[in-house]
Amino acid sequence: MEAFSFESFLNFGIFAYVCLFICFSVVTIVLSSIEISRYKRKNRYETFKPLLVSPFAPSVSVIVPVINLRTSIVDTVRGLLALQYNNFDIIVVIEGNSDLHLIELTKFYQLQSARYSSLTHIKTQKINGCYRSANPVFSKLTVVNKTSGGRADALNAGINISKSDLVLCMDTDCFLDQDSLLKMVKPFLEEREQVISASSVVHLANSSEKKDGHLLKLKFPKNILAAFQAIEYLKIFVIKRMAWSNINGIPLFSGTVNLFDREVLIESGAYNSEALSPDFELLIRMGRYMHDNAKRYKLAYIAEPVCRIGVPENLQILSRERRTWNGGVLQALRLHKNLFLNFKYGRLGLLNFPVCMLSLCTPYFIILLLILIVAGAFLSNINLEFAGILLFTGYFFSVLMSVITVLYEESSFRSYTSGRDIIKMLLLGFVEPVIYQPMVLYWQITSAFAKRIK
């Protein structure tokens, strides 16, 4: 009798998880396809040319913190200066000991010391110097040198100095398409609710040809770890974030490139320099601020890739990065735990937050199930055939999700034009649930314990 109920319990547990996983995935796919279709239909007939020439285009500051950069900063800046937009400036914030970058920029762009004024007083580490170019051709560029304080602190320094309506916060490993600003600014002008932030689909830049800060052609990464991440990024940006955007939610994965309404960002308190995932934590705070002030808002999502990013190809660096992100998400959720099921915060508290928390619980549930299966197998208490069927269902469904992701990418953006790249992605879908996803689960779980031990 006991064995029967343990086996039933285990089988029911796996069945419930598999069902939930399937339902959740189907809902995500449906929401995502609605969103892609909506975006494509809306923008099929629009041209960005009026925004390019308009005197009413909102001003944008592109803020780039330079931290531990091993390559040349000049190329990054050159790529940014070529952005097609009427009204923007670039603020490069060099942290701490990166004198080499400052010297390089000074030489290339004829920088001179400049004074600055700031009406906002976000607390940051000390600013050691501010520089602008003597050459009017580079009048868009401002370089700030400050004491080390981390990425969030550097962004805050840039926000302090900026006088624009919008701020684009990015990293040095991002390559923006030339029309990226046009595409990201547009939602701020066409939505009925106030748009407080805009982000976009992100593809990988690894293995792609680069020249003068531009990416020439997108190629599927050669490195296996980067290849897995390419599929993962597609799943995150093409499916999950698209679905979140449909319900105006803050996705767990909020980093890379974000365009913010500067005023709302400052009123919300700007970046938290203690946060491990500063963008995610900031978006929650901005959402809270809007709810607290009874203002309707929208988090815009550009359903096409305007940015490419380089990802780690080294396992150690990748695992450290992932542990930091996951730790950051946990930290942010803990910090704002009073949002959980709080009616005052509408969708943010009733839907967004619980779903984020559920997503974070998934790895634990999977580990628990696996432990039970192994235990059951040793005690010969479970029907291995049933357990196998359930596990295979989970596996093939996971493969189906990867393959559907590739299908979405094919039918909407076609960024990977080579047939070979598509075949690689489709085949990797079979390997990914077995090799890469367990690694991701492992990082998710260890990041939680690492935080606790800390």
Partner 1 sequence: MAKVLVIEDEELMIKALEFRLKKDGYDVSLARDGAQGIEMLSKATYDLVITDIMMPFVSGLEVVSHIKGSPVLKNIPVIVLSSIGLERVVMEAFSLGVDDFITKPFNLGELVIRVKKFVNQTNVFN
Partner 2 sequence: MEDAFFSITSYLQNLFISRLSTFPVFIIIPLIALVFSVIGILEVYIYIAVTRVTAFYKRTREANLKDRIIAMLANVLVFSDIDDPQAIVAHFLPRFSRLPLYRGTIRRLLVSELLKSHSSFNGRVAEVIQELYLQLKLDRKARKNLSSRRWEEQIEAIRELTEMSVKEESEKILKYTNDRNPSLRLEAQVSFIRLCIENPFRFMDFVCEPILEWHQIVLFEVVTKTESMARPRFAIWLNSKNDSVVSFCLKLIEYYQQFDAVPNLIYLINHYNPVIRGAAIDILGRMGAEVAESHLVRAYTDQPNEIQLKIINALGMIGSGKSISFLNSQAKSEDFAIRLSAMRAIKAHRDDGPELLNKLFNEGVSQDREIIELVLNERVIV
Label residues 216-236 b or e (16+ Cβ within 10 Å = b). Answer: eebbbbeeebbbbbbbbbbbb
Kindly state whether residue 37 participates in binding partner 2, applying the rule CB under 8 A: no
Minimum Å distance from CB 226 to partner 1?
24
Q: Are 159 and 63 in contact (CB under 8 A)?
A: yes
Segment contacting partner 1 by CB under 8 A, of 210-218, 259-267, 384-392, 411-419:
210-218
Question: In degrees, to the nearest 5, what angle opens at C-alpha 243 toward C-alphas 313 and 17?
Answer: 80
Residue 51: CB minimum distance to partner 1, A: 11
Task: Candidates 206-214, 228-236, 357-365, 389-397: pick the segment binding partner 2 (CB under 8 A).
Answer: 389-397
Q: Is 134 in the site for partner 1 (CB under 8 A)?
A: no
Residue 306 neighbours by CB distance under 10 Å = 22
The token pair that represents 328 in the structure block: 């950051």
Using CB under 8 A as the binding rule, whether residue 49 contacts partner 1 is answered as: yes
For residues 251-290, which are near partner 2 according to CB under 8 A? none
Q: 90 is written with which tokens? A: 């670039």
Q: Which does 378 bind (CB under 5 to 8 A by kind): partner 1, partner 2, none?
A: none
* Window contacting partner 2 (CB under 8 A); options: 110-118, 174-182, 246-254, 343-351: 110-118
Are 252 and 329 in contact by the 8 Å Cβ rule? The answer is: yes
Handedness of CA 247, 252, 255, 256 (dihedral sign): negative
- Binding partner of 216, given partner 1, partner 2, none, CB within 5-8 angstroms per partner class: partner 1
Nearer to partner 1, 216 or 371 (CB): 216
Task: Return all residues near 227 (Cβ < 8 A) that are at least 6 apart.
Answer: 220, 221, 424, 428
**Does residue number 52 form part of the binding site for partner 1 (CB under 8 A)?**
yes
86 interface partner picked from partner 2, partner 1, none, CB below 5 to 8 A per type: partner 1
Identify which range of 49-57, 351-359, 364-372, 376-384 contacts partner 1 by CB under 8 A: 49-57
Q: What are the φ and ψ backbone dihedral angles of 304, each rounded to 5 degrees? A: -155, 155
Q: Segment 143-202, which members bind partner 2 (CB under 8 A)?
A: 161, 186, 188-192
Helix (H) or strand (E) holding 260: strand 258-261
Which region among 47-55, 174-182, 215-223, 347-355 touches partner 2 (by CB under 8 A)? 47-55
| Count of positions (residues) in the chain | 454
Nearest CA-CA partner of 291 in 236, 234, 350, 245: 350
Q: Which is nearest to 259 in space by CA: 205, 309, 196, 172?
A: 196
Question: Number of residues in contact with partner 2, rule: CB under 8 A?
Answer: 52
Kindly state whether residue 391 participates in binding partner 1, applying the rule CB under 8 A.
no
4 belongs to the binding site for partner 2 (CB under 8 A): no
82 binds partner 1 (CB under 8 A): yes
- Cβ burial, residue 414 (10 Å; 0-12/13-18/19+): exposed
Q: Which of 32, 142, 272, 277 binds partner 2 (CB under 8 A)?
A: 142
For 113, phi then psi, to 5°, come to -65, 140
Eight-state DSSP code of residue 114: -
How many Å separate Cα 147 from the centre of its chain?
A: 26
Site for partner 2 in 55-84 (CB under 8 A): 56-57
453 binds partner 1 per the rule CB under 8 A: no
Tell the residue number behind the tokens 């990867």, with chain if given.
Answer: 402
Window 11 to 30, contacts with partner 2 (CB under 8 A): 11-12, 15, 18-19, 22
Q: Which is nearer to partner 2, 365 or 397 (CB)?
A: 397
- Subset of residues 84 to 113 that bind partner 1, contact rule: CB under 8 A: 86
Give the residue from 20, 35, 19 showing the smallest Cα distance to 299: 35
Burial class (CB in 10 A: 0-12, 13-18, 19+), 422: middle
Q: Which stretch binds partner 1 (CB under 8 A): 38-46, 48-56, 156-164, 224-232?
A: 48-56
Stretch that binds partner 1, among 18-26, 46-54, 183-191, 323-331 (CB under 8 A): 46-54
- Please select the residue that binds partner 2; options are 108, 340, 397, 442, rule is CB under 8 A: 397
> What does the binding site for partner 1 look like in residue numbers (CB under 8 A)?
49, 52-53, 82, 86, 137, 178, 211, 214, 216
